[in-house]
Chain A
Amino acid sequence: MKRTLPLILLMIFGGFGILPFFIPHPKIQNIDSFLRNDLLLILYAFALVLGLGSLLHVHVNKIKHRGQNWQYSWILIVTFIVCSIIGLFGGVSGTGPLPTRIGNFPFDIQTIYLRVEVPLGSTMFALLAFFMASAAYRAFRARSTEATLLLTAAFFVMIGILPLGDKISHHLPSFAQWIMDLPLVAGQRGIIFGIALGALATELKIILGIERSWLGGVE
């Protein structure tokens, strides 16, 4: 029963996920609307709470057992609690019952987001350019015909998309666009078809109960 019930539920709800796309009958559409707009939203809300609870649980355990870099878990927990209180009671831009300003120093959730998270996130991502440059220098070698073609195409696109490309030759931006429009799309479309067919086969196997590894445990 522990395995049969989830399988039956999956077959029913998986089926109802597909049917509304093919059957426009009002009854099917109404069931679909109920499942999406009522049932799934509630499930998502629970999943959110479960996810946050799980996150806290992992980090509390890490502190308890002095796991690797456990000190950082304190930062997460303190930030989590402080931001939750400010967000829940301070309102979006400091319009809630909780005061979110001391003199000229605002600390409402939007300010915290713009002044802390945005610079931190941007900084982390900006580092990527440096790693990419270093990795390209070390690893991007014209070892074979395919690698040489890739390298040449990359040069054309990297120069062609910039204003500099247009200054070198009016044909360069068009050629870079052609690379993006044709060879890239041809390869990418093949990959998309492959992934789509693979996903379809896997989903059918799961819905029909052939693939059961998602249930966990040993067959």
Chain B
Amino acid sequence: MNFIDRLTTINRKIIYLVLAIVIVIPLIFPSPQKVRVMAPVEKLFNAVDTIHEDKALIINFEYDPQSQPEVEPMGLAVLRHAFKRRIKVLVMSLYVQPLGLAKSALDQVVGEINAESKSNPDSIIYGRDFVFLGWQPGFYIPILGMGESITNVYKTDYYGNKTDTLTLMKQTKNYNNVELLVSLAVSDIPIYWVAYAQNRFGLQVGAGVTAVSAGDFYPYYQSGQFTGLMVGMKGGAEYEELLATRLNIHKRRKAGETLSSITFAHLTIILLIVIGNVGFFIKRRKR
């Protein structure tokens, strides 16, 4: 086998090994990278930042364990932002799988803030500052139903409490009391929020999505139907950057830490494609 043949037939095990090395080493020695914040993320940040105090923010957790590493940093960042600004938050999912991850993210961020708070008003209190609504079947039924009455759709919250007894839910009847919804999703759920909640009730919708599905969501961002858009690890890292620079929140930057890994992985893939194409063209010319 000559050199050109070798170029086009690299053993896949070697490819896997090289990729594993370039991904794992930067993860073992993480160093968050400074990123340039692009308009879609900045718009989402500003939309969350300017939520009026009498209005709530709904965070729709719609990612599963498969996409957790990519989307969870966005969820943590939006929660930190909202709680720092003392914005009232409702958390919910339209599928069952994300519930455990939503609870985990909520527990983490609420724990962080309450560990630093010195008094009751400083703390984040369940029922007063946030409510975890949980899940209801039929994903578009809750979307439409919440436009009329949230407590009618979610009669009990995730923990089994009656929602109409919670202070926050007495103030938050339906979408009229909600300024923005941020859907952190791995599927096309954010589009359903636009189709059902925005078109019918005028709810502002923002989204955080995986990089691989970004193409499906850009048309909705460009048309203004999405107030803002976070895409992949980079989107999460940009939001973390804004939290650090504008709100002085310096928690662990999970998305920013992975950018080195992603950079090396992208460079490796580009190099592999170039090698494959060089071999392909030389072979074709010989023929």
A-B contact pairs, 18 of them (CB 8 A): A41-B137, A44-B137, A45-B137, A114-B104, A118-B68, A130-B16, A133-B265, A137-B10, A137-B273, A141-B280, A142-B277, A158-B269, A158-B270, A161-B234, A163-B33, A163-B35, A166-B36, A184-B218
Q: How far is the CA of A151 from the CA of B274 in the complex (A)?
A: 10
Q: Name the interface residues of A37-78: CB closer than 8 Å to any CB of B.
A: 37, 40-41, 44-45, 48
What is the CB-to-nearest-CB distance from A150 to chain B, in angstroms, rounded to a whole number? Answer: 11
Whether B66 contacts A164 by the Cβ 8 Å rule is: no
Q: How far is the CA of A48 from the CA of B138 in the complex (A)?
A: 10
Contact partner of A121 (CB less than 8 A), chosen from B64, B159, B272, is B64
Closest A residue by C-beta to B275: A137
Whether B16 contacts A134 by the Cβ 8 Å rule is: yes
Known A92-B159, A141-B277, A173-B36: A188·B100 in contact at CB below 8 Å = no
B59-74 interface bits toward A, Cβ cutoff 8 Å, 1 = contact, 0 = none: 0000011111100000
Interface residue? B282 (CB, 8 A): no
Indicate the member of A40, A48, A141 with the most B CB atoms within 10 Å: A141
Q: Which residues of A contact B44 (CB under 8 A)?
A: none
Whether A162 contacts B266 by the Cβ 8 Å rule is: yes
Whether B263 contacts A188 by the Cβ 8 Å rule is: no
Whether B141 contacts A37 by the Cβ 8 Å rule is: yes
Q: Which residues of B contact A166 (CB under 8 A)?
A: 35-36
Interface residue? B48 (CB, 8 A): no
Whether A36 contacts B145 by the Cβ 8 Å rule is: yes
Contact partner of B215 (CB less than 8 A), chosen from A134, A138, A188, is A188
Contact partner of B65 (CB less than 8 A), chosen from A44, A120, A142, A162, is A120
Q: How far is the CA of A121 from the CA of B100 in the complex (A)?
A: 13
What is the CB-to-nearest-CB distance from A50 to chain B, in angstroms, rounded to a whole number? Answer: 12
Known pairs A37-B141, A158-B270, A166-B35 / 13 extra A-B pairs, C-beta < 8 Å: A33-B148, A37-B153, A44-B137, A122-B65, A122-B68, A125-B66, A129-B19, A130-B15, A136-B269, A137-B10, A162-B263, A162-B266, A180-B215
Closest A residue by C-beta to B23: A129
Interface residue? B136 (CB, 8 A): yes
A106-118 interface bits toward B, Cβ cutoff 8 Å, 1 = contact, 0 = none: 0001100110011
Enumerate chain B interface residues (CB-CB to A < 8 A): 10, 12, 15-16, 19-20, 23, 33-36, 38-39, 64-69, 100-101, 103-104, 136-138, 141, 144-145, 148, 152-153, 158-159, 200, 214-216, 218-219, 222, 232, 234, 259, 262-263, 265-270, 272-273, 275-277, 280-281
Closest B residue by C-beta to A120: B65
Q: Which residues of A contact B281 (CB under 8 A)?
A: 142
What is the CB-to-nearest-CB distance from A55 to chain B, in angstroms, rounded to a whole number? Answer: 14
Closest A residue by C-beta to B217: A188
Q: Which residues of A contact B10 (CB under 8 A)?
A: 137
Closest A residue by C-beta to B229: A180
Q: Which residues of B contact A113 (CB under 8 A)?
A: 100
Interface residue? A159 (CB, 8 A): yes
Interface residue? A101 (CB, 8 A): no
What is the CB-to-nearest-CB distance from A121 to chain B, in angstroms, rounded to a whole number? Answer: 3
Contact partner of B272 (CB less than 8 A), chosen from A133, A181, A185, A189, is A133
Known A129-B265, A130-B19, A161-B234: A118·B101 in contact at CB below 8 Å = yes
Whether A138 contacts B159 by the Cβ 8 Å rule is: no
Known A92-B159, A140-B276: A188·B138 in contact at CB below 8 Å = no
Known A114-B104, A134-B15: A163·B263 in contact at CB below 8 Å = yes
Whether A37 contacts B152 by the Cβ 8 Å rule is: yes
Known A92-B159, A125-B66, A184-B218: A133·B138 in contact at CB below 8 Å = no
Whether B268 contacts A133 by the Cβ 8 Å rule is: yes
Q: Which residues of B contact A161 (CB under 8 A)?
A: 232, 234
Whether B218 contacts A130 by the Cβ 8 Å rule is: no
A128-158 interface bits toward B, Cβ cutoff 8 Å, 1 = contact, 0 = none: 0110111011101110000000010001001
Q: Which residues of A contact B219 (CB under 8 A)?
A: 185, 188-189, 192
Interface residue? A214 (CB, 8 A): no
Q: Which residues of A contact B270 (CB under 8 A)?
A: 155, 158-159
Q: Which residues of B contact A185 (CB under 8 A)?
A: 218-219, 222
What is the CB-to-nearest-CB distance from A13 to chain B, in angstroms, rounded to a whole number? Answer: 14
Q: Which residues of B contact A134 (CB under 8 A)?
A: 12, 15-16
Q: Which residues of B contact A189 (CB under 8 A)?
A: 219
Contact partner of A162 (CB less than 8 A), chosen from B222, B259, B276, is B259
Q: Which residues of B contact A124 (CB under 8 A)?
A: 66
Interface residue? A21 (CB, 8 A): yes
Whether B218 contacts A180 by the Cβ 8 Å rule is: yes
In the A-B complex, the 6 residue pairs with the closest CB atoms: A121-B65, A125-B66, A44-B137, A113-B100, A137-B272, A118-B65
